[in-house]
Amino acid sequence: MEHEGHFVYILQCKDGSLYTGYTTDIVRRVQMHTAGKGAKYTRGRGPFQLKLSESYPTKERAMQREYEIKQMSREEKIALIEERRAPIDPRSKKL
């Protein structure tokens, strides 16, 4: 996993809820959430599982994507996570 750039990420909290955020250092940010020093929402909801991380070349694009994801329903977020985790079928025409 990359450690530089602009990232949008989804964490799954202990209670099963999903949290979406933006950072420039994904490892440090997850550590902050784990230590209870991340977003107010995540305090007391650990441990966390990093379910999705997307990298973008600019802060503007990453924050646009964060907004898009935050507008999704829980079901849409889960589908996005599953889509990214699914192995690519070499016979598929979609890439």
Residue 90 maps to a domain: no
Give the chain's domain count: 1
Tell me the pLDDT band of 85, cut-offs 50, 70 and 90: confident
For 23, the domain range is 6-85
DSSP labels for 48-70?
-EEEEEEEESSHHHHHHHHHHHH
For residue 31, the cross-strand partners are none
pTM here is 0.84
Task: Show the tokens assigned to 91.
Answer: 């016979």
CA dihedral 81, 83, 86, 89 (to 10 degrees): -170
Q: What is the structure's pLDDT at 38?
A: 87
Residue 92 maps to a domain: no
Cβ–Cβ contacts within 10 Å for residue 55, how many? 15
In the predicted structure, residue 2 carries a pLDDT above the cut 50: no
Residue 32 maps to a domain: yes
What value does the mean pLDDT take over residues 26-39? 92
pLDDT tens-digit series, residues 56-75: 999 999 999 999 999 999 99
Residue 93 maps to a domain: no
- CATH number, domain at 53? 3.40.1440.10
CA distance 16 to 26: 20
What value does the mean pLDDT take over residues 5-20? 96
